Structure 1
Amino acid sequence: MKKIVYVVLFLTSLACKEQVKPVEKQEEQKEEIVALNDFPEALRKVFDAHGGLDIWEKQRTLVFDLPKPDARETHTVDLISRKDKITTTNFSIGFDGQHVWLLDMDKSYNGDAVFYHNLMFYFYAMPFVLADDGINYGATEDLEFEGVSYPGIRISYDNGVGASSKDEYYLHYHPETFQMQWLGYTVTYRSGEVSDNVKWIRYADWMDINGIVLPKSITWYNYEGKTIKEEKSTVTFENIELSTKKKGATFYQKPEEAAYVTKE
């Protein structure tokens, strides 16, 4: 999300001599390129604390497993096109770049595939997904937890961005290391209305994957407003792969037996 502004300076001088017709002299055109960064300085420091946005943007494919009691889920995401695929022993979900599809021969999947297909990717790929296009950054008050005050950044989206552009996120980072510590978020997918019910996830368990710092696990907490209570549930990520190579052309395509699904 960088804008390049070209500032062109034309310097023209006129030289006049007695009894000589004025001659216009045009100096060589000078072009100055100024790089402007749309990210708040604090967010750039958060990116740097997690390996750097420049390294992240060189990656193409992310794979991770979610161990679950009924079936292990393997999530694969193209980091450029944002096509994705979830495979289990019982069902598969995918996004081919335009539509979400579901392969569920045994009718064992009871969720909302449109809502879920990239949900865990966004939680897992924090903070880097907050560099996407169509995002607005603002101020928010610090989050207090166990005697530490965590500064934060408020994130909102332009209209029409994603499946629920009225969602809001609140990234809170350690005041000294700038490593991400908390994520607050609202859910407007089904209602379509702005919500003030902010849910809270703690990011305190990290690992290094090819120079990028990604979570081993994330933990939801009970809360009352911005008062964080006790732990509620934890999701663990396993078998992480981060690669500069992309999958084959048909990897994310809908299988013949699958069906396209729409928002419920």
Structure 2
Amino acid sequence: MKYLTILSLVVLIACQPNKQNQDTEEEAKAYEAPKHHSESLTKVLDAHGSHEQWSKMKYLSYTKGEEYTITNLQNRKIRVESPDQTIGFGGTDVWVTPDTVDASRARFYHNLFFYFYAMPFVVGDPGAFYEDVEPRELKGKTYNGIKISYGENVGDAPDDNYILWFDPETNKMEWLMYTVTYRSGEPSDTYKLIRYDQWSEFNGLLLPTAIQWHQYKGDSVGEMSNEVRFENIQVTEESPADSLFVMPENAQIAPLNVGKG
């Protein structure tokens, strides 16, 4: 009887599903590539660590000069601290503290550099549409391009357009053209140009450590006009505390200002 009991126990254990294998299988099934992504965009995202890896991340922070930014990548709540003010977004309104500072640009500014920093992953968001464009030469090198546009009511400036230029051999992003329509509320054909050629790996993702604006007019690329450097970069699977994004008592709500010219 004792041997029968032991044998029954062994059979019972052998028949139990392996929890570790179950967890691994569940994790493998958890990610589904967004159906709206184009083939070209997927190649670029894969060259930068993959959208799958990006989708696992919840926490992003960096410093830009005296400015410190922390973002919850899952819900895009954000907090931007500088010596004179703090700007935050808790899911509904953009707020600014103290309530004595000029908050007229805060809504436009609160996630401006986050979008530039989080390229190319940020253009993989829902609501985006992709179109392959003709290759273009920039600074003596030919790049493949993807034009990104947005559906109505996607963000504060749905008429903004981006063109992402990437190396045809490595698929790494090297330039970004973009329009600004936030204040005018009207579509624009005037593009600004940023160079992305300084990348470092953080938690399996290639993210920029510096970006440079270049003069751009009549399809001619001019000299660098400005450079922004990002330091103390952290990107992890740990969520930031939600209390960071709650509007404090001495804060004001930033106005929308779209279409104000």
TM-score grouping bracket, smaller chain normalisation: 0.7 to 0.9
Larger deviation: 77-86 or 143-152?
A: 143-152
Counterpart residue number, 1:203: 196
Q: Would the aligned equivalents of 1:197 and 1:225 in 2 still touch at CA under 8 Å? A: no
Is 1:250 aligned to residue 243 of structure 2? yes
Is 1:146 aligned to residue 139 of structure 2? yes
Shift of 1:82: 0.6
Amino acid in the other structure paired with 1:102? V
Gaps of 5+ in 2: 1-31
Shift of 1:35: 8.0
Counterpart residue number, 2:166: 173
Alpha-carbon displacement from aligned partner over 1:46-94 (angstroms, at most 9, x marks no partner)? 1011011111100001001010xxxx11011111111100012221000
Counterpart residue number, 1:104: 98
Shift of 1:251: 1.4
Is 1:137 aligned to residue 130 of structure 2? yes
Q: Would the aligned equivalents of 2:106 and 2:254 in 1 still touch at CA under 8 Å? A: yes
Amino acid in the other structure paired with 1:176? E
> Of Structure 1 and Structure 2, which has the larger fraction of its residues in helix?
2
Shift of 1:262: 1.2
Is 1:73 aligned to residue 67 of structure 2? yes
Gaps of 5+ in 1: 1-33
Q: Would the aligned equivalents of 1:91 and 1:105 in 2 still touch at CA under 8 Å? A: no
> Of Structure 1 and Structure 2, which has the larger fraction of its residues in strand?
1
Q: Would the aligned equivalents of 1:143 and 1:226 in 2 still touch at CA under 8 Å? A: no
Whole-Å separation in 2 of the counterparts to 1:93 and 1:35: 33
Shift of 1:104: 2.7
Counterpart residue number, 1:57: 55
Q: Relative contact order (C-alpha < 8 Å, sep 6+): which is higher?
A: 2
Counterpart residue number, 2:86: 92
Q: Would the aligned equivalents of 1:90 and 1:106 in 2 still touch at CA under 8 Å? A: no
Amino acid in the other structure paired with 1:87? E
Counterpart residue number, 1:239: 232
Which structure 2 residues correspond to residues 23-62 of structure 1 after superposition, within 5 A?
A: 37-62=35-60
From 160, 183, 186, give the equivalent of 1:190: 183
Shift of 1:240: 0.3
Alpha-carbon displacement from aligned partner over 1:105-164 (angstroms, at most 9, x marks no partner)? 663x57600000000000000000111010011122222123211010000000000000
Larger deviation: 221-230 or 117-126?
A: 221-230
Whole-Å separation in 2 of the counterparts to 1:74 and 1:36: 31
- What is the TM-score when the length of structure 1 is the normalising length? 0.82
Counterpart residue number, 2:221: 228
The 3-state SS of whatever aligns with 1:251 is helix
Amino acid in the other structure paired with 1:81? N
Whole-Å separation in 2 of the counterparts to 1:52 and 1:244: 15
Counterpart residue number, 2:12: none
Amino acid in the other structure paired with 2:121? F
Larger deviation: 138-147 or 225-234?
A: 138-147
Q: Would the aligned equivalents of 1:198 and 1:225 in 2 still touch at CA under 8 Å? A: no
The 3-state SS of whatever aligns with 1:240 is strand
Amino acid in the other structure paired with 1:250? S
Change (3 A) 1:110 1:96: closer
Q: Would the aligned equivalents of 2:36 and 2:129 in 1 still touch at CA under 8 Å? A: no
Q: Would the aligned equivalents of 1:125 and 1:214 in 2 still touch at CA under 8 Å? A: yes
**How many residues matched?**
226
Q: Would the aligned equivalents of 2:177 and 2:194 in 1 still touch at CA under 8 Å? A: yes
| Runs ≥4 residues deviating over 3 A | 34-37
RMSD between aligned alpha carbons? 1.7
